[in-house]
Chains A and B, each alone.
Chain A
Amino acid sequence: MKKTLLTMMIAGAVSMTGAAVADPAIQFDAGGKFDKSFNQSAYEGAERWKAESGGSYAEVELTTEGARAQNVTRLAQRGGDPVVVVGFMNEGPLNEVAPEFPDTNFAIIDMVVDQPNVRSVVFKEHEGSFLVGALAALKSETGTVSFVGGMDIPLIRRFACGFKQGALAVNPDAKVIENMTGTTPAAWNDPAKGGELARAQFEQGSDVVFAAAGGTGTGVYQAAVDEGKYAIGVDSNQNYMHPGTMLTSMVKRVDEAVYGAFKDGTEGNFSYGIQALGLAEGGVDWALDEHNAELVTPAMVKTIERLRTDIIMGEIEVHDYMSDNACNV
């Protein structure tokens, strides 16, 4: 009994010192931390924690697909705590690595990993996409709006499905064109192809395009500028990139997720299990700022805010593509 107590004290002391000296660590996903989108949002969250706490953190950018497990292992071995891995592709690697470091806290963003020492942060992208889809349909003069996805995966289909539902909610006759950039991670970083897809959609009558495609999105937004159409950004608030043609952005608070994991981990308040962040939790939203204020009329704001309240109150239920891998709306 005495021995157990001693062990517990030692363990407690170790974990306390561990908490005191351990720096958080983060692995950014393919696309890189300056993709102006998903990863950059994660980066901003990490930087915010750094500025507020005065601490430092270790980071690694993914360069090859095969290096995921290796990177995460290295971050954990070097004493990173918590280790935050950004991106759904890390599901397999984290399932492998997390049990090897039972005393390290892990967090994964955009995917659920069922391990006792892992926090899984997922977003209700369909809810945020619903709002920007509604705004797109309100703004469109042709009645046709479009979507460019990055890699063809259920998560991106979830964006597309929410967008479509939103557009149909305000205009039941709206036509929604959907395209995916590719089927490999290279699809997150192909602005030339993104631009070409957007142009093809404009030719088919679309005048508002929503891109959920990481770095590929920059090509989509540029095509919108060149062709005089509207574009909707994703993940980070991208309104500033092209004021005048960026209608809005579907903001996904990856920064909050990273900031929260860093803060909880270093202060010893880390929690585990699934955090699902939707409109109600402030995890997703649409962006209105000085860069797009001229494009959005007060009537549009009113409609979107009403839809938002309805979703939060449960009066509108946005279908989640990932619940049944189908978008029958």
Chain B
Amino acid sequence: MDSATFILALMDSAVRMAVPLVFAAMAGICAERSGIVDIGLEGKMLAAAFAGAAMSAVSGSAVLGVMAAIGISIAFSMVHGFATITQRGDHVISGLAINFLASGLTVVLGAAWFKQGGQTPTLSGDQRFMSLDLPGAEWAAESLGVVGQFYDKVISGHNLLVYLSVVAVALVWWVLTRTTFGLRLRAVGESPHAVDTAGISVAATRYKALLLTGVLCGFAGAYLSLAQTAGFQREMSAGQGYIALAAVIFGKWRPWQTLGACYLFGILSALEARMQGVEIPLIGTLPTQIFAALPYVLTVILLAGFIGRAIAPKAIGQPYVKER
């Protein structure tokens, strides 16, 4: 395989690996910019993955599966909102509770419903999202050189949710920076008192932000069980919710930068899958462990020195108490 093909295949794989991170990171941005720490991204993804696979297995429709995934994710998000906004509880503890709840509940319900030890049945056909070939992909690959091949190999041939993830980034960017609601959302994350003085409800704005978080996490979970694999397996989110949070910080709470961070993590995972046992000139074969550790090492190095200071929203993690 020549190097151009290798790089294209690597990028193609990176796009697939990054999708759950992108959705979850956008969910994280919505919550965090409004002042809510959301460590429960992981749990919401897992619960959504389960609900999506369960609904799809029963109904035979992947679209219904996504709707169930979004529904359950919103429900978890509202529980987090009730605990942190209305009851002014600790954000991290509420988020952790959601993670534990999702981790246990999915296996227990899965075991009770499907009798396969917490897995859902294997999904096939319309129960999943299959890859789509974009128009003109083959023609472009043959006649447009490298650009065409990039279009054919990297951009075309993914499933619907992959394309939606990019749309989600654009939407989150547009809502946050170009709408009145977005301005208010960012304002409650920086200075809730000022927003309150202007006669806008801090609690309502934060709830709306968490609603967005719920929808986006629902997509992240649905991608795991309905597109990337074919069915739910326990703990299948495998810490990606936390990596998404790292990507949010990496991207300084900004949608497009965060998308870049997600793709960087995606490339690292793709590299790990491809560089195992491959001879590198002068160095020889590297042990697989190096590639497994690379994402973590790079995160630490980049966070420590290369991206500059990441400044969190000012009012993050603080319950809002109206002055009396």
Q: A11 within 8 Å of B by Cβ?
A: no
Which residues of chain A come closer than 8 Å to B131, judged between CB atoms? 226
A residues 105-152 in Cβ contact with B at 8 Å: 152
Which residues of chain B come closer than 8 Å to A192, judged between CB atoms? 224, 228-229, 236, 238
- Return the CB mask of B190-231 against A: 1 if under 8 Å, else 0: 000000000000000000000000000000000010001111
* Stretch touching chain B among A183-191, A258-266, A283-291, A293-301: A183-191
Check B230 against A222 for contact (C-beta < 8 Å). yes
Partner of B292 from A183, A197, A199 at Cβ < 8 Å = A183
Which residues of chain A come closer than 8 Å to B127, judged between CB atoms? none
Q: How far is the CB of A71 from chain B (nearest CB, A)?
A: 17
Chain A: which residue is nearest B277 at the CB level? A178
Bound: A230/B270 CA distance, A: 22
Q: B118 within 8 Å of A by Cβ?
A: yes
Q: How far is the CB of B214 from chain A (nearest CB, A)?
A: 23
Partner of B13 from A178, A179, A199, A215 at Cβ < 8 Å = A199
Contact A195/B117 with A180-B288, A226-B131 known, Cβ cut-off 8 Å = no
Bound: A34/B118 CA distance, A: 8
Bound: A314/B54 CA distance, A: 50
Partner of A200 from B118, B233, B236, B273 at Cβ < 8 Å = B273
Partner of B17 from A33, A178, A196, A218 at Cβ < 8 Å = A196
Please report the total number of B residues contacting A with Cβ < 8 Å. Answer: 32
Partner of B228 from A178, A183, A195, A200 at Cβ < 8 Å = A195
- Return the CB mask of B2-17 against A: 1 if under 8 Å, else 0: 0001000100010011
Which residues of chain A come closer than 8 Å to B119, judged between CB atoms? 34
Check B13 against A204 for contact (C-beta < 8 Å). no
Which residues of chain A come closer than 8 Å to B1, judged between CB atoms? 203-205
Which residues of chain A come closer than 8 Å to B269, judged between CB atoms? 193, 196
Q: B235 within 8 Å of A by Cβ?
A: yes
Check B233 against A191 for contact (C-beta < 8 Å). yes
Check B16 against A196 for contact (C-beta < 8 Å). yes
B residues 54-106 in Cβ contact with A at 8 Å: none
Bound: A63/B189 CA distance, A: 39
Check A195 against B229 for contact (C-beta < 8 Å). yes
Check A32 against B118 for contact (C-beta < 8 Å). yes
Contact A179/B236 with A191-B229, A241-B122 known, Cβ cut-off 8 Å = no
Q: How far is the CB of A200 from chain B (nearest CB, A)?
A: 5
Contact A34/B117 with A191-B233, A226-B131 known, Cβ cut-off 8 Å = yes
Bound: A169/B269 CA distance, A: 34
Bound: A196/B236 CA distance, A: 14
Contact A34/B116 with A152-B288, A193-B273 known, Cβ cut-off 8 Å = yes
Which residues of chain A come closer than 8 Å to B238, judged between CB atoms? 186, 190, 192
Q: How far is the CB of A223 from chain B (nearest CB, A)?
A: 9
Which residues of chain B come closer than 8 Å to A34, judged between CB atoms? 116-119
Q: A278 within 8 Å of B by Cβ?
A: no
Bound: A189/B117 CA distance, A: 13
Chain B: which residue is nearest A34 at the CB level? B117
Partner of B9 from A182, A183, A200, A218 at Cβ < 8 Å = A200
Q: B276 within 8 Å of A by Cβ?
A: yes
Q: B314 within 8 Å of A by Cβ?
A: no
Which residues of chain B come closer than 8 Å to A191, judged between CB atoms? 229, 233, 236
Q: A24 within 8 Å of B by Cβ?
A: no
Partner of A196 from B122, B230, B273, B277 at Cβ < 8 Å = B273
Bound: A200/B288 CA distance, A: 15
Contact A189/B273 with A32-B118, A34-B116, A203-B1 known, Cβ cut-off 8 Å = no
Check B233 against A215 for contact (C-beta < 8 Å). yes
A residues 53-105 in Cβ contact with B at 8 Å: 61
- Return the CB mask of A264-276 against B: 1 if under 8 Å, else 0: 0000000000000
Bound: A276/B269 CA distance, A: 38
Contact A203/B9 with A152-B288, A189-B233 known, Cβ cut-off 8 Å = yes
Q: A219 within 8 Å of B by Cβ?
A: yes
- Return the CB mask of B232-276 against A: 1 if under 8 Å, else 0: 011110100000000000000000000000000000011001101
Check B231 against A218 for contact (C-beta < 8 Å). yes
Which residues of chain B come closer than 8 Å to A200, judged between CB atoms? 9, 13, 270, 273-274
Check B234 against A196 for contact (C-beta < 8 Å). no
Q: How far is the CB of B227 from chain A (nearest CB, A)?
A: 10
Which residues of chain B come closer than 8 Å to A179, judged between CB atoms? 273, 276-277
- Return the CB mask of A203-227 against B: 1 if under 8 Å, else 0: 1110000000001001100100010
- Return the CB mask of A158-193 against B: 1 if under 8 Å, else 0: 000000000000000000011110110010011111
Bound: A181/B260 CA distance, A: 26
- Return the CB mask of A1-42 against B: 1 if under 8 Å, else 0: 000000000000000000000000000000011110000000
Would you list the 6 A-B pairs with minimal beta carbon distance, nearest first? A34-B117, A191-B229, A203-B9, A34-B116, A200-B273, A222-B230
Can you list 30 A-B contacts with CB-CB less than 8 angstroms, sorted by A residue number? A32-B117, A33-B117, A34-B117, A34-B119, A152-B288, A177-B277, A178-B276, A179-B276, A180-B288, A183-B292, A186-B238, A189-B234, A191-B236, A192-B224, A192-B228, A192-B238, A193-B269, A195-B229, A196-B13, A196-B17, A196-B270, A197-B273, A199-B13, A200-B13, A204-B1, A215-B233, A218-B231, A219-B229, A222-B122, A226-B130
Besides A32-B117, A197-B273, A222-B229, 20 more A-B contacts (Cβ < 8 Å) are: A32-B118, A152-B288, A178-B276, A179-B277, A180-B276, A180-B288, A183-B288, A183-B289, A186-B238, A189-B233, A196-B16, A196-B269, A200-B13, A200-B270, A218-B122, A218-B229, A218-B230, A218-B231, A219-B229, A226-B131
Query: Which residues in A have some Cβ–Cβ distance to B below 8 Å?
Result: 32-35, 61, 152, 177-180, 182-183, 186, 189-193, 195-197, 199-200, 203-205, 215, 218-219, 222, 226, 241
